[in-house]
Structure 1
Amino acid sequence: MNIAIIFAGGTGQRMNTKTLPKQFLELHGKPVLIYTLEQFENHPQIDSIILVCLESWIDYAKKLISKFQINKVSQIVPGGASGQESIFHGIQAAYQKFPQQKTIVLIHDGVRPLINQETITRCLKCVHQNGNAITTTPAIETVFVNGEHDQVGKILNRTQCSLARAPQCFYLDEIYKEHIKAKSENQKEFIDSATLMQYYGHKLYMVDGPVENIKITTPMDFYLFRALLDAKENMQIVGF
């Protein structure tokens, strides 16, 4: 059983939108969230989708899911006070609904619509082989640690650095157990699932993902998404 947990709990403060959270912004008549959901809906190895959504927008999300015929969404759960808590709500819902051993969960941002089928397939294969899969892309610019007093700290060798993206994929029983442990220890500061799992001693394995698998957080990200999508559609029109 392979379950996609799609996190769409952001309020879009950095997007500066006054009406819609960023996951509901539309491009060519389709919300960003739907572009994302379609990638998992159309993947033959994904059995179900659990959507984690802002509670006040759940009814709106249900209407979109019905309109665009996203049939694999089996449950919509409200987000929490933080990203970590919201992801836990999705994991907990999956654990209650799909208690089978060796269920795989693919945790993905609702505002990463440019994930592709090939990466999802490679992630699932990596979990079967190694127990987890973290989607990454190579660092292509200089990376350094922030120093004190606005100084540049240690400069890292970028050939040894990658950027963590999504999906981040695990066996459901393992990540559920570690989330419960984090709650019992009042550990609330994990920025993502990979950080939490590594903190609790798990070796993590990388899967190369597409460079265009960006997270739409700012207006510039949205314009880049539009440009990439238009370029992809134009290439299809001319036969590439």
Structure 2
Amino acid sequence: MEYTVMLPAAGSGRRMGAGENKLFLPLGGLPILIRTLGVFERDPACRQIILAVRSDERGRIRGMLSGAGITKVTAMPDGGQERQDSVHACVRAFMEAGGQDDSVVMVHDAARPFISPKVIGELAATAAEHGAAIAAVRAKDTVKQVRDGLVQSTPDREELWLVQTPQAFRAGLLAEAESRAEADGFLGTDESMLVERSGHPVRIVESTYDNVKMTTKEDLAIGEVLLKRLEEEKE
């Protein structure tokens, strides 16, 4: 199942303490961004990549893409202050370029370079059939709902999932949910939340715990270990 992937890449790297966009930091000798894009560059089902970027970083990113042989990036709209703004910019770029409502589009964190191609394929197929699907893993730990330092409740762990990306949708469904959120002044934490509030059901595709987001320096250390393991498996 063919798809287009959209990546918000206009972050600051504040939580990483990097002093620059964390996506430029090296992971196994390559920038995190290039590691992530490489997954989709190698996937025959990926038709194109749309990157939301900061205008002052566009030239640098173009150079990185050229140097790494990344050829599927077709648009780099300006990213916004919030992740939701950046994703909306990608959706607009897709639709303005002739994207169809029933096309499958995915939104993926540019800082998740270890997503499984198998999971990507399952997401695309599920979104094509049902309209919306997200990658997630089962919660390993007991979770407490807390208010003012006091435990309020303990949700059933069997019903709890930790959400990742990619999140996959029919393009028209996501575009409508994004536009409605913008009109309502609603800011969600992920695209699934916007689709959920529109009343459309969202399906879960079980992912892997390796699909770590490179957010802190500790995550980078974990990434190096995962990368070494993947390289050893290829030998």
TM over 0.5: yes
Q: What aligned pairs does 1:161-240 form with structure 2 within 5 A after superposition?
A: 161-187=160-186, 189-237=187-235
Shift in Å, 1:130: 1.3
Shift in Å, 1:60: 0.8
* Aligned match of 1:73: 73
| Residue range with higher mean Cα deviation, 98-107 or 203-212 | 98-107
Shift in Å, 1:157: 1.5
* Aligned equivalents of 2:98, 2:165: Cα separation in 1: 22
Where does structure 1 lack aligned partners over 5 or more consecutive residues?
Answer: none
TM value normalised by structure 2 = 0.96
| Residue range with higher mean Cα deviation, 51-60 or 107-116 | 51-60
Assess if the C-alpha contact under 8 Å between 2:102 and 2:170 holds in 1.
yes
Shift in Å, 1:235: 2.9
Shift in Å, 1:231: 1.7
After superposing on structure 2, the runs of 4+ consecutive aligned residues of structure 1 that deviate more than 6 Å are none
Shift in Å, 1:105: 0.7
Q: What's the secondary structure of 1:215's corresponding residue?
A: coil
* Aligned equivalents of 1:157, 1:176: Cα separation in 2: 33
Letter in 2 for 1:216: M
Shift in Å, 1:153: 2.2
CA RMSD of aligned residues (A): 1.2
Letter in 2 for 1:71: T
Letter in 1 for 2:197: Y
Letter in 2 for 1:50: I
* Aligned equivalents of 2:193, 2:112: Cα separation in 1: 19
Q: What's the secondary structure of 2:144's corresponding residue?
A: strand
Assess if the C-alpha contact under 8 Å between 2:128 and 2:170 holds in 1.
no
* Aligned match of 2:100: 100
Q: What aligned pairs does 1:20-99 form with structure 2 within 5 A after superposition?
A: 20-99=20-99
Q: What aligned pairs does 1:116-195 form with structure 2 within 5 A after superposition?
A: 116-147=116-147, 149-187=148-186, 189-195=187-193
* Aligned match of 1:109: 109
* Aligned equivalents of 1:193, 1:67: Cα separation in 2: 31
Where does structure 2 lack aligned partners over 5 or more consecutive residues?
Answer: none
Q: What's the secondary structure of 1:15's corresponding residue?
A: coil
* Aligned equivalents of 1:56, 1:142: Cα separation in 2: 43
